[in-house]
């Protein structure tokens, strides 16, 4: 090869390298423009926000969780502020009047929750994930399944679970040592709300595993769960109706059968006026097996997290506020002097227990943030909201706003006396959401928590110990929970 040919080859290689580098630079510039061009949308509608980073937006702002970050965000940028995760735009609100507009007044425009990037079966078929007409259909079918008459049928099952729970607590009480009540207090309750065959490590082992398993293994676990539920459905269908276990799964199976004879409490009803394309009232609908599996997965995951956290936080607050616990113990003793077994009707006679649970949910709402998606451009009071924006309701910040809750860091159950609540803004307290898309299982959850706490305090009381963390540190990525568990002592009465 001559000198000329060598120079030509070097020139060609140089040109190829230059062209490749130029192409890569152009691609990176276009990609950066594509990513960052969306970062002007919040400013265009007058929403203040932290400066976003290319590609990730404000993701690092929430690296320690959302509980404290929400407080910092609202403190720095106002009660209507925002942020970006990737290209997705969020508008954070914490004012009750704006919340009312979104959850109730303009529900038709905000009926969907945020569409998650990744969601797998069976959870994809749960009422939390469903959108538009699919959600309307499932919600309409499920609503009668959660009326007072239906959930009252589950009280014997909850009582059975409480007996097992009390036996386990007795062991801890007799040992005299501190223990993590979060790991113990509700596991038996939730597993007994399903038929025995579903006790296969759900939820105590499987739920943490689902968070760390690779996709292939997670799909295998999800497939196993769906298969298990479908097998149980087949078994229940073969049983005599009088022999079927009255658990959560049976509520779902009963909902498959259309009926017009169910009497619902007024608060259980979902108005068709909320659904612009609602199905005809007389059209018969039923749940598919996949939809039943979806609700079962929601109950195990959401029920496990929220009920466990509420009972654990309630135990902690009573242990650290002995004067409140003593007042509650007097009410418990009075109750059991009149009744042998708690049920849905007689637990309504416990106003201070109601206040204790309500204040626990104010201070530690498990669902401390939730979202709605704007279907079209609109105005929420004086704030413009573009189509596609994700509205994030900062329940945690709302519950600690001194404008509505004086001395919010203090445990004061009397805030929820009927006279005080008549003066309170109805959208200043949202542990279960509100509006047509509020938590459908609220009555069942509160009944379970009340009966469990009532049965525990009949025999035991909570005490602090050197291992008790004061103040309690929380984790807040998906739901709210204790960072390092809740260590207390339980002593016989």
* Model pLDDT for residues 387-446, shown as the tens digit of each residue: 999 999 999 999 999 999 999 999 999 999 999 999 999 999 999 999 999 998 899 889
**Closest by CA position to 145, among listed 282, 307, 286, 290:** 286
Residues 25, 26, 31, CA angle at the centre, nearest 5°? 100
Determine which of 16-25, 140-149, 183-192, 306-315 has the lowest per-residue pLDDT on average.
183-192
Is residue 376 over pLDDT 50? yes
Digit-coded pLDDT (tens) for 45-74 = 999 999 999 889 999 999 889 999 999 999
Q: Which residue has the higher pLDDT, 101 or 192?
A: 101
Determine which of 197-201, 317-321, 405-409, 458-462 has the lowest per-residue pLDDT on average.
197-201
Q: Which residue has the higher pLDDT, 181 or 265?
A: 181
Predicted local distance difference test score (pLDDT) of residue 272:
46
- Binding-site annotation: residue ranges for heme: 439
Label residue 101 by pLDDT band (50, 70, 90).
very high
Is residue 301 over pLDDT 80? no
Tell me the C-alpha distance between 116 and 218, whole Å: 17
Going from the C-alpha of 72 to that of each of 78, 97, 188, 235, 394, the distances in angstroms are 10, 21, 38, 52, 12
Is residue 264 over pLDDT 60? no
Determine which of 115-124, 344-353, 376-385, 414-423 has the lowest per-residue pLDDT on average.
115-124
Q: Which residue has the higher pLDDT, 122 or 328?
A: 328
Predicted local distance difference test score (pLDDT) of residue 320:
97
Q: Which CATH number fits domain 94-237+244-255+286-492: 1.10.630.10, 3.30.450.20, 3.50.30.30, 3.40.50.300?
A: 1.10.630.10
Cis peptide before 471 (omega within 30 of 0): yes
Q: Which residue has the higher pLDDT, 446 or 193?
A: 446
- Binding-site annotation: residue ranges: 439
Q: H or E segment at 195?
A: none
Predicted local distance difference test score (pLDDT) of residue 222:
66
SS3 103: helix
């Amino acid at each position: 090869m001559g000198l000329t040919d060598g120079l030509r080859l070097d020139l060609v290689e140089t040109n190829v390298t230059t062209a490749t580098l130029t192409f890569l630079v152009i691609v990176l510039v276009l990609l950066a423009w594509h990513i960052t061009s969306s970062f002007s949308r919040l400013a265009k509608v007058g929403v203040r926000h932290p400066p976003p980073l290319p590609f990730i937006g404000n993701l690092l702002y929430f690296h320690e969780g959302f509980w404290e970050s929400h407080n910092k965000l609202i403190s720095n940028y106002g009660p209507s502020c925002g942020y970006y995760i990737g290209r997705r735009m969020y508008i954070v609100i914490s004012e009750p009047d704006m919340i009312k507009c979104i959850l109730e007044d303009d529900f038709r425009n905000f009926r969907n929750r945020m569409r998650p990037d990744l969601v797998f079966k069976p959870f994809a078929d749960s009422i939390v994930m469903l959108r538009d007409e699919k959600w309307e259909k499932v919600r309409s079918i499920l609503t009668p399944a959660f009326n007072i008459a239906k959930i009252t049928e589950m009280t014997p099952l909850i009582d059975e679970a409480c007996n097992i729970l009390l036996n386990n607590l007795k062991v801890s009480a007799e040992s005299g040592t501190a223990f993590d009540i979060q790991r113990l207090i509700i596991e038996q309750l939730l597993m007994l709300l399903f038929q025995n065959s579903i006790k296969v490590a759900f939820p105590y082992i499987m739920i943490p595993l689902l968070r760390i398993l690779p996709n292939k293994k997670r799909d295998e676990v999800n497939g196993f769960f769906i298969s298990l539920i479908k097998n149980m459905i087949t078994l229940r269908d073969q049983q005599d109706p009088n022999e079927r276990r009255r658990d959560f799964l049976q509520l779902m199976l009963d909902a498959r059968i259309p009926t017009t004879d169910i009497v619902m409490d007024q608060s259980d009803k979902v108005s068709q006026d909320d659904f612009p394309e609602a199905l005809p009232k007389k059209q018969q609908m039923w749940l598919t097996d996949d939809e039943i599996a979806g609700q079962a997965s929601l109950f195990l995951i959401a029920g496990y997290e929220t009920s466990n956290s509420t009972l654990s936080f309630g135990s902690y607050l009573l242990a650290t506020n002995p004067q409140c616990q003593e007042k509650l113990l007097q009410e418990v003793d009075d109750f059991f002097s009149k009744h042998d077994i708690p049920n849905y009707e007689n637990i309504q006679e416990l106003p201070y227990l109601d206040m204790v649970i309500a204040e626990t949910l104010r201070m530690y709402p498990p669902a401390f943030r939730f979202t709605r998606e704007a279907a079209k451009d609109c105005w929420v009071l004086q704030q413009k909201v573009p189509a596609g924006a994700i509205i994030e309701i900062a329940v945690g910040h709302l519950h600690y706003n001194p404008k509505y809750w004086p001395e919010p860091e203090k445990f004061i159950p009397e805030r929820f006396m009927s006279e005080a609540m008549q003066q309170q803004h109805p959208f200043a307290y949202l542990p279960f959401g509100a509006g047509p898309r509020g938590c459908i299982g609220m009555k069942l959850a509160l009944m379970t928590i009340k009966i469990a706490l009532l049965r525990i305090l009949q025999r035991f009381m909570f005490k602090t110990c050197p291992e008790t963390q004061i103040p309690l540190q929380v984790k807040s990525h998906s739901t709210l929970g204790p960072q390092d568990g809740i260590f207390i002592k339980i002593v016989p009465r």
